[in-house]
Amino acid sequence: MAIFYDILLALSIGLTILYAFIWHRHFDVHLTLIFAFIPIAMLGYSMATRADDIDSVIIAQKIIYIGGCFLMLFILRNILHMCKIKLSQTLSTFMLVCSMLVYAGVLTIGRYPYFYKSISLINENGTYVIKKEYGSLHTVFYVLVTAYFLVSVSAMVYSYIKKKDVSRKMLYLLFTPVLISFVTFVICHMRNLKYDMIPLDYVIAQIVYLVIVYRVCLYDIDETVIDTLVQTGDTGIISVDLKYNYLGSNETAKEIFPELKELAVDEPISTHRKMKATAMEWITEFQANEEDDKVCYKKDDRSYLVDIRYLYVGRHKRGYQFILTDDTKNQQYIELINKYNDDLRNEVAEKTAHIVEMHDNLILSMATMVESRDNSTGGHIRRTSDVVRMLLDEMKKDDAFELSESFCRNMIKAAPMHDLGKIAVDDAVLRKPGRFTDEEYEKMKLHASEGARIVHEILKGTDDEEFRIVAENVAHYHHERWDGSGYPTGISGEDIPLEARIMAIADVYDALVSKRVYKDSMPPEKANAIIMDGMGRHFDKRLEPYYVKARPRLEEYYRNIE
């Protein structure tokens, strides 16, 4: 039998060590005392089985009764803590004094007949057997243990019936070791059995309490790391486990969600319509994307910011927690800012459109002023813009050039700027009615590069970089030729920007069919022949189909403006 008690002692020490590893500062102190006192009592049983003289027996009995006198007190106090029942300081002190007085009686064993009238060690067939005759104080011990048991059971029954914030699972776990220990205690002491089974009950109790320790971290909402938030009174906290069972909430959360008052601990939140539509949806979204951890919840005229996070015990995820803070003022401020931003955005857009319109009109006025110095009959910049638009309309009908809407818009807008460089050409050259000399022609050719420089200076501060590039290219390269024989740089083929290749056709076509002071307008058939002959040499051959398709509209357009 000694080996049996030794094994139980070893198990008890191992379970206490395990408890020490998982101990947390918010564990009830009485739970820690239970794990500390059980191995001490177990040591007494182990010593008793090996005692070969009466003095050793008496020492062993005194150690055993450390558990008998104090463990039921610690168990009772732990049950009251778990059931959230507070005792007055006076009553707590009274119970401790009662246990200490009873244990003082235990210390009289071997000297006075108050606890044991007699105790002896008898050798029966080579085995030592302890014979005891109980005294009056032992009856007091029975009364004390019975009282602790009855108070413990009463507290658990009361909590089961009245308190929804106490886990039913926890109550079942708490009741199990109490019942087993009390029944075993009564049987062993009343019948004076040869072998005491209380040590086995102690080990069972430790195992059950380890399960309780595992669960207690989930239920003690008020003693987790969010204590400060709980106590502030303006932050709501709701906790559920990984199976979506309700673990608890503070009063602020219950004010925000009155439905929580109807939920019992360990009840699935999915069974409640309101919680299923809110908390369950928030968890689902959080599981899909953990960065989606904040939700704005509106109730009546209040707005609450819900912060969703995992509920950790140590390093382990044990559930989910919702932190609810009143965000009404902040949301009202955000709405005010958004409204202000919308109004400001609309006002800026309106003023920007006005500025852009003024900017465009200024550029068009400059182009018109330059045109007035030329010897044309006027209207060239407007007509070339319209021709460019017609060519682009045909080009957009297929995806060969993959033209964007912004490119087309900028191209049409930039077309009037193609001859801005003529402002730098001397009037004697610019307004000469006949053919230029070689020297005059060289001066005239300068208008392309000068136009690019002027456009760059005008638009260098603009935010529309795409428009600036298109406008510069149109001014700079619209006299370049596909075969490289153009000016001012002599580039060829696809090195010539697309916008300049399109502008070249529009510029030449208008020059051919328009009347100037030094020439009459050319018939459309002859102008068309010149354009078609220039395809592949002067103009990009790939633009030919679009010109051909646009030709009827072009001829109709020029007939209407004659």
pLDDT tens digits along 121-142: 887 666 677 788 889 999 999 8
Task: Give the whole-number percent of the chain exceeding pLDDT 90.
Answer: 42
Query: HSE-up of 168 (CA within 13 Å, CB side)?
Result: 11
Please say whether the beta carbons of 554 and 390 come within 8 A: yes
Could you give all domains of the chain from N- to C-terminal order, each with its CATH number?
2-219 (1.20.1070), 223-326 (3.30.450.20), 344-560 (1.10.3210.10)
Closest listed residue to residue 34, CA positions, set 178, 168, 171: 178
Closest listed residue to residue 250, CA positions, set 305, 325, 169: 325
Give residues with Cβ within 8 angstroms of 330, minimum separation 6.
Answer: 303, 305
The whole-angstrom separation of Cα 72 and Cα 53 is: 30
Please say whether the beta carbons of 522 and 554 come within 8 A: no
Give residues with Cβ within 8 angstroms of 79, minimum separation 6.
Answer: 152, 155, 156, 174, 178
The whole-angstrom separation of Cα 87 and Cα 66 is: 23
The whole-angstrom separation of Cα 45 and Cα 47 is: 5
Neighbour tally for 74: CB within 10 Å: 23
- Give, in degrees to the nearest 5, the angle at Cα 142 between 136 and 147: 130
Please say whether the beta carbons of 451 and 476 come within 8 A: yes
Give the mean pLDDT of 59-71.
91
**What is residue 107's predicted lDDT score, i.e. its pLDDT?**
94
Give the mean pLDDT of 343-372.
68
**What is residue 530's predicted lDDT score, i.e. its pLDDT?**
95
The whole-angstrom separation of Cα 370 and Cα 421 is: 8
pTM: predicted TM-score of the whole model, two decimal places: 0.47
Q: What is the rounded (10 degree) CA torsion for 86, 91, 96, 102? A: -140
Reported as a single tens digit per residue, the pLDDT across 208-257 is 888 888 776 555 555 554 455 554 557 889 999 999 999 988 888 888 88
The phi-psi region of residue 154 (left if phi > 0; otherwise alpha if psi is between -120 and 50; otherwise beta) is alpha
- CA 467 to chain centroid, in Å, comes to 41
**What is residue 377's predicted lDDT score, i.e. its pLDDT?**
43
**What is residue 471's predicted lDDT score, i.e. its pLDDT?**
92
* Residue position matching structure tokens 């989606």: 292
Reported as a single tens digit per residue, the pLDDT across 365-387 is 666 666 655 655 457 888 898 99
The residues facing 132 across adjacent strands are 119
Task: Give the whole-number percent of the chain exceeding pLDDT 70.
Answer: 87
Is pLDDT of 456 > 60?
yes
The whole-angstrom separation of Cα 22 and Cα 205 is: 17
Please say whether the beta carbons of 212 and 173 come within 8 A: yes
The residues facing 235 across adjacent strands are 325
Give the SS3 label for residue 490: coil
Reported as a single tens digit per residue, the pLDDT across 470-529 is 999 999 999 999 999 999 999 999 999 999 999 999 999 998 998 876 677 899 999 999
